[in-house]
Chain A
């Protein structure tokens, strides 16, 4: 049901892209108002959310430790998985953000004849990593539309990406990888009963949206052979805040733009904010040194405790009977304390 709604929503966006592209006003909107608004939303929404998170205090020091602590000198500590220094935390966060360290640990538990068997399960990690890296590469490659002259590193990226020189225009590996990873992530949501059970509208919506973006982009490049020069004109105009109206570009272009804008605008209000949230996760970004350095809780609220004096008062008779030293009697004898 959720998947169907998500599909309908994305198809509606595609239709809106196609129809909007038919009119002069629509074409202008797609190259000016819509993307400006979307990227403003993305920027403002993203910042707002991150600031919101950052303003909430971290009252307690709660890293999840995934290796040996640093305690005695002769016991080798897990410097990254259980960081005892800021460097360790940088290492841990780097491995999380660039390599998805925690997800790499993933395994699969299954019950067989009353026994639990643990098997390798690296496909989720592999496809997630492949997807994100491919996406980053594709985003960087797109910079060539917005910058003139095209910076060297983008040219290098592009040449590497099309290293195998298959077809004309040359096939980008990142496109292939992105498509494959997305397909796996989508199929997994449908095929795996557990994942299907937990999936919501937003999970499908984000995937379909990305698939729509990838598909429209690839169709433009490899099949309809879009006029790259006009696209670049429009992109440069957009970047220079002198938006142009697209002329003679295929509906795919408008669909692509609308889907990208939707994704950008949707991101800050959705689970896709994990992009920013990962950095702030207190179970990962804290040094495991809570016994060596006092962590301060800004709102450390006062509480009612049961003080020793009250306790001694309540149990005095029993303390005397058991001959346990007491404070009150000692007080007369000029106790050093």
Chain B
């Protein structure tokens, strides 16, 4: 009998959202950032504090800092300024937020989340708000408002689903990012965001793995891939003069089920003979700076181009990761470019020029692999994935900040025989977040994660019951880290995997030994006959 952590029932909104008082409770908040991490990054107001404390030890002039910070950002971001001004409260966004659907907390409606900020904007930055105050929708900035902001801006995963439905494209992610930047100015940040950021700044990756540990992990994966395939697979680290720098989220070499995706990459690179290197310095594709401030995002992201330049590679290939690709696709070139020291990416196998990445010079592994399959360059035996009945979860950022929808599906359809889509209101640009993105994926926040993940889980449950789906595939490191918990609670019996794990299973490699297990080490049910008759090229 499962313990009921979360009970979800429809509840109509009551009360007045203008009342800023909020009950912070365990299970629905992330802990405050440890002072050592705040100090290491040189951010303001490092101190020992917790959100559940009544005294948050704000700096004495916190109010001025927040208002000055708002003023500065209103002049620097058109999105922020515009989104403060033009909402008509039509309510189309209300039931689009996974946190609102899972918590029935009216302040989780995107419109209200934004109003928490807008009300302060109106009160202090508009004529009508200064004169009419409440009547013009203004609120005074009090310490209660700061606590409310903290609660609700760390209860948004910046997934942008609401923005898809907004008639003006108002993007709550922009507002949440501003909210978090402002909170950072007075030291109200969470450890789950700042510790990985501090780690990444120092060691090169979120997990704080130092170069020797990085090499151990990579070597271990290479050995395991060798063992599975019977081939001698080696992974070069910090090798100068390679053609391609491969950057992945650090969870890929340190977490499960990410790890099996890494095995998939390594086998793919070996099979096509890719001239590549990984880097112990730029050992993180993900970017927890994104969840804190634009400045921190830029500081962490700088390593990738710096390392590409130092190693003298021609272009960069990026692994499966959601918010990593938000940064790479929409921010990297602007922040740390121009990458004029790199070449326009060209697939060494197919000769395809990735013109869509001709400035940033960074290609998504799904684009790269889909191109290989399309040109028939890979021998694939989808029957090796016959133990899986897969569905695909569009990770928010690749879907809504990039439009990477078909590439992963194309790969999946070529590497497995059983694939079923979830209902259309829950995939592609309308995909539901895992509920743990944007730095919320910590266990102390479990209740909120389960609530926020409920709409996604509900759609998985639907295809599990209808089609017998037992595998949820995705291309995001945070998904892989947090969807297993979500599935365990809401849809037991569904596993989580990366797309390149399934590719690794299906990939028939030159000179490989007969595969007895999949990448997870599970023995194939009907073994023997696979390897011999395997040769399903692409659809070229």
Is B403's CB under 8 angstroms from A69's CB? yes
Is B335's CB under 8 angstroms from A297's CB? yes
In the bound complex, how far is the Cα of B106 from the Cα of A44, in angstroms? Answer: 37
Q: Which residues of B contact A70 (CB under 8 A)?
A: 356
In the bound complex, how far is the Cα of B407 from the Cα of A77, in angstroms? Answer: 11
* Contact A109:B403 (CB < 8 A) given known A69-B356, A303-B295: no
In the bound complex, how far is the Cα of B413 from the Cα of A75, in angstroms? Answer: 14
B-contact bits for A103-114, CB 8 A (1 contact / 0 none): 101111111001
Tell me the A102-143 residues at the B interface (CB within 8 Å): 102-103, 105-111, 114-116, 118, 124, 128
Tell me the dominant secondary structure on chain B's binding face. helix
Q: Which residues of A contact B280 (CB under 8 A)?
A: 319, 324
Smallest Cβ distance from A220 to chain B, in angstroms?
28
Residue A16 lies at the interface, judged by CB distance under 8 Å to chain B: no
Tell me the A52-76 residues at the B interface (CB within 8 Å): 52-54, 56-72, 74-75
Residue A271 lies at the interface, judged by CB distance under 8 Å to chain B: yes
Is A278's CB under 8 angstroms from B360's CB? no
Q: Which residue from A280, A288, A319 sits with its C-beta under 8 Å from B78?
A: A280
* Contact A56:B330 (CB < 8 A) given known A198-B112, A278-B167: no
Q: Which of A20-28, A32-40, A188-196, A251-259 contacts B (4 or more CB under 8 A)?
A: A188-196
Is B425's CB under 8 angstroms from A281's CB? no
Residue B77 lies at the interface, judged by CB distance under 8 Å to chain A: yes
Q: Which residues of B contact A197 (CB under 8 A)?
A: 13, 17, 106, 112
Is A201's CB under 8 angstroms from B135's CB? yes
Q: Chain A interface: which size bin?
A: 35 or more
Residue B352 lies at the interface, judged by CB distance under 8 Å to chain A: yes
Tell me the B219-257 residues at the A interface (CB within 8 Å): 237-240
Is A203's CB under 8 angstroms from B88's CB? yes
B-contact bits for A256-299, CB 8 A (1 contact / 0 none): 00000000000001111110011011111000111111111101
Is B429's CB under 8 angstroms from A67's CB? yes
Q: Which of B77, B211, B374, B406 has the most CB of A within 10 A?
A: B211
* Contact A114:B212 (CB < 8 A) given known A292-B357, A294-B334: no
* Contact A72:B352 (CB < 8 A) given known A62-B171, A294-B333: yes
Q: Which of B179-187, B304-312, B470-478 contacts A (4 or more CB under 8 A)?
A: B304-312
Q: Which residues of B contact A192 (CB under 8 A)?
A: 91
Q: Which residue from A53, A69, A102 sits with its C-beta under 8 Å from B164?
A: A102
In the bound complex, how far is the Cα of B85 from the Cα of A115, in angstroms? Answer: 36
Is B367's CB under 8 angstroms from A71's CB? yes
Q: Which residues of A contact B163 (CB under 8 A)?
A: 64, 283
Q: Would you give 24 A-B contacts (Cβ < 8 Å), ordered by A?
A: A53-B81, A60-B331, A62-B401, A65-B429, A105-B430, A111-B10, A116-B459, A194-B12, A194-B109, A197-B112, A198-B94, A200-B89, A200-B137, A270-B128, A271-B88, A273-B86, A274-B87, A274-B167, A277-B168, A281-B86, A283-B169, A289-B356, A291-B359, A292-B358
Chain A residues in the interface with B (C-beta under 8 A): 5, 49, 52-54, 56-72, 74-75, 77-78, 81-82, 84, 96, 100, 102-103, 105-111, 114-116, 118, 124, 128, 192-195, 197-203, 269-274, 277-278, 280-284, 288-297, 299-301, 303-308, 311-312, 314-315, 318-319, 321-325, 327, 335-337
Chain B residues in the interface with A (C-beta under 8 A): 8-10, 12-13, 17, 42, 74-79, 81-82, 85-92, 94-96, 101, 106, 109, 111-112, 115, 126-128, 135-137, 160, 163-171, 174, 201-204, 210-212, 215-216, 237-240, 280-281, 294-295, 298-299, 302-303, 306-307, 310, 312, 328-331, 333-335, 337-338, 352, 354-360, 362, 367, 370-371, 374, 399-407, 410, 423, 425-426, 428-430, 454-455, 458-459
List 13 extra interface pairs beyond A66-B400, A305-B306, CB under 8 A.
A54-B78, A69-B403, A116-B458, A192-B91, A269-B127, A278-B167, A283-B174, A291-B328, A308-B310, A322-B212, A322-B216, A324-B212, A325-B238
